[in-house]
Amino acid sequence: MKVGHQTDFTSGNIPKQLISFSIPMLLGNILQTFYTTVDSIWVGRFLGPEALGAVSVSHPVAFVMIAFVLGLGMAVNIMVAQYLGAKKHLELKNTIGTSLTLFTAIGVILTVFGLLFHQGILEAIQTPDTILPLASSYLYVYFWGLIFIFLYNTIGGILRGLGDSKTPLLLLVYSTIINIILDPFFIIGIPPFPKMGVAGASLATVIAQAFSGLLGIFYIYRMNLFHFTRDFLSPKIELIKVMLKIGLPAGAQQTFVSLGFLVLTAFVNGFGDKVVAAYGAATRTDNFSFLPAMTFSLAISSMAGQNLGARDFTRAKEVARWGAIISVLFAIPVSIIVYFFADTLLKIFTTDSEVIRIGVSYLRIVAFTYIPFSAMFAYNGFLRGAGDTMQTMINTLLSLWVIRIPIAKILSMNHLLGINGVWIGFAIGPLAGFLLAYGYFRTGKWKNKIIVNSFYGSEKS
């Protein structure tokens, strides 16, 4: 079954494959982050700190709504990779059809939920009154585009499982260009369009996401991966069970992580709109800094998944080792740049001196945590590739809910530390997460989680 840019990762030079497969995904992740960054630049520069804070508050709320489905999408990536490695082409084809139907249905349900309840969520996390109406208008428009977000991410997971990281990049290139072009028209009202403010930023994003999602459907149709037939689009119960077995822990992980960051956002909101704006600008820098680690984690999942599907454990573990090494080597210079050039990076988003001062303190506290964060993501990526998403959920929830959130809350109550207590809490979690992920990787228990185990009676080790 040869499709598009499909790549066989069960043989060849691992570091070379890892880097060449990751580069298109890294560029794609940069472009995806650029979506929110461009919005923040336009909003922060032309509409002021309150509008920037509104966009910043909106993102974790939006992510809570989509996190569970994004976690389920990881299951699609894992299943495609393992079925491809095991040469189970019928299961591969049925996984693609089932996932597209399932995620479209979930997208419709969550769109209705988001439209009805986004205002209440914003109020529950103590969004400042100066920001609340703006954030509500942003989210109302955003939720109309949920189904397209799900479509793109499902298609991206399918293609990455097949070893194709180039097509998702091209889809993002097109949609990012559309977003960049439309932003000023909708935000500041370039004729003939009215000035929509933060809602305009959201509308530009929705239109761009709709383009990438629909173009993705067209692409996999042309590649004979999608069929408008009842048999293809009918969900297969046995595959939904596998998808849920892998995807429920991953989805729960994404949901609890997003809820955790929503709680942390609530801590930040309590310090006023300047701190909210600073946090929003600083986390835009954070998002770019995390991209190499997140990208290599995705690459490791796909590469390890194919090798584990083929039962080559020795090569799969080499994928994890090289992934961790390369990811950390990327993280070191990023940490140095963020620490020493924090103020310069923040000035991209705002000219407010108080917002910049607060943001600098955040970035200098968290900058060098990108190193253990990268190693943690590498080993969690391997565990996801094995289908052991329950353990990655446990690792992440312990480091966030047992360590990061309580420490952030306790330290922020110290009047000498104030908001810096929250920043310190942010910095401690990644080290604990790495130790948990690496320790479990060493046990080898992940071998029992591989979804194609029933197809084999022996293994290569």
Q: What are the tens digits of pLDDT across the range 29-81?
A: 777 776 667 777 778 777 877 888 888 788 778 877 777 777 777 888 888 88
pLDDT, residue 55, reads: 81
User: Rounded mean pLDDT of 215-226?
Assistant: 84
Inform me whether the pLDDT recorded for 169 exceeds 90.
Answer: no
Does any domain span residue 75?
yes
For residues 191 and 151, give the distance between their C-alpha atoms in angstroms, rounded to a whole number: 32
The pLDDT tens digits for 287-317 are: 778 888 888 998 998 899 889 888 889 999 9
pLDDT, residue 318, reads: 94
pLDDT, residue 6, reads: 60
Does any domain span residue 194?
yes
Contacts of 335 (CB under 8 A, 6+ apart): 289, 367, 368, 370, 371
- The answer, yes or no, to whether the previous bond of 372 is cis (omega within 30 of 0) is no
Cα 100 vs. chain centroid, distance in angstroms? 19
User: Rounded mean pLDDT of 359-374?
Assistant: 92
For residues 68 and 378, give the distance between their C-alpha atoms in angstroms, rounded to a whole number: 21
pLDDT, residue 296, reads: 92
Inform me whether the pLDDT recorded for 118 exceeds 50.
Answer: yes
| Higher-pLDDT residue of 5, 68 | 68
pLDDT, residue 459, reads: 43
User: Rounded mean pLDDT of 318-326?
Assistant: 94
Inform me whether the pLDDT recorded for 339 exceeds 90.
Answer: yes
User: Which amino acid makes up residue 151?
Assistant: L
Mean pLDDT of the chain: 84
pLDDT band for position 417 (cuts 50, 70, 90): confident
User: Rounded mean pLDDT of 180-208?
Assistant: 88
Q: Does residue 460 sit in helix, strand or coil?
A: strand
Highest mean pLDDT among 216-230, 265-279, 342-356, 357-371: 357-371
User: Rounded mean pLDDT of 408-419?
Assistant: 79
| Higher-pLDDT residue of 99, 226 | 99
Residue 112: C-alpha distances to residues 82, 130, 180, 373 (Å): 34, 26, 28, 35
Share of the chain above pLDDT 90, in %: 22
Concatenating the DSSP letter of every residue in 110-148 gives HHHHHHHHHHHHHHHTT--TTTHHHHHHHHHHHGGGHHH
Q: C-alpha angle with apex 167: 162 to 186, nearest 5 degrees?
A: 140
Inform me whether the pLDDT recorded for 456 exceeds 80.
Answer: no
Residues of the domain holding 40: 14-450
Rg, Å, the chain Cα set: 21
Highest mean pLDDT among 74-83, 169-178, 312-321, 381-390: 312-321
User: Rounded mean pLDDT of 4-12?
Assistant: 72
22: nearest Cα among 163, 153, 154, 149: 163
Inform me whether the pLDDT recorded for 227 exceeds 90.
Answer: no
Residue 286: C-alpha distances to residues 162, 293, 459 (Å): 30, 12, 41
Q: Is 395 within 8 Å of 408 (Cβ atoms)? A: no
pLDDT, residue 434, reads: 92
Does any domain span residue 327?
yes
pLDDT band for position 1 (cuts 50, 70, 90): very low
User: Rounded mean pLDDT of 353-368?
Assistant: 90
User: Rounded mean pLDDT of 388-399?
Assistant: 86
Does any domain span residue 2?
no
* Residue the block writes with tokens 């809570």: 64
Does any domain span residue 6?
no
Inform me whether the pLDDT recorded for 438 exceeds 90.
Answer: yes
Q: Which pairs count as long-range contacts for 377-380, CB under 8 Å and 24+ apart, including other chains? A: 377/293, 377/294, 377/296, 377/297, 377/327, 378/293, 378/296, 378/297, 378/300, 378/320, 378/323, 378/324, 378/327, 378/328, 379/320, 379/324, 379/434, 379/437, 379/438, 379/440, 379/441, 380/297, 380/433, 380/437
Does any domain span residue 120?
yes
For residues 389 and 72, give the distance between their C-alpha atoms in angstroms, rounded to a whole number: 10
pLDDT, residue 322, reads: 95
| Higher-pLDDT residue of 349, 347 | 347
pLDDT, residue 461, reads: 42
How many Cβ atoms are within 10 Å of 230's Cβ, its own excluded?
7
CA torsion sign, 305 to 306 to 309 to 310?
negative
Inform me whether the pLDDT recorded for 5 exceeds 90.
Answer: no
pLDDT, residue 35, reads: 65
Task: Annotate 348-378 with b (16+ C-beta within 10 A) or e (fewer).
Answer: ebbebeebbebbbbbbebbbbbbbbbbbbbb
Does any domain span residue 1?
no
How many Cβ atoms are within 10 Å of 456's Cβ, its own excluded?
13
User: Which amino acid makes up residue 66?
Assistant: I
User: Rounded mean pLDDT of 81-102?
Assistant: 84
User: Rounded mean pLDDT of 161-173?
Assistant: 84
Does any domain span residue 116?
yes
Please count the structural domains in the chain: 1
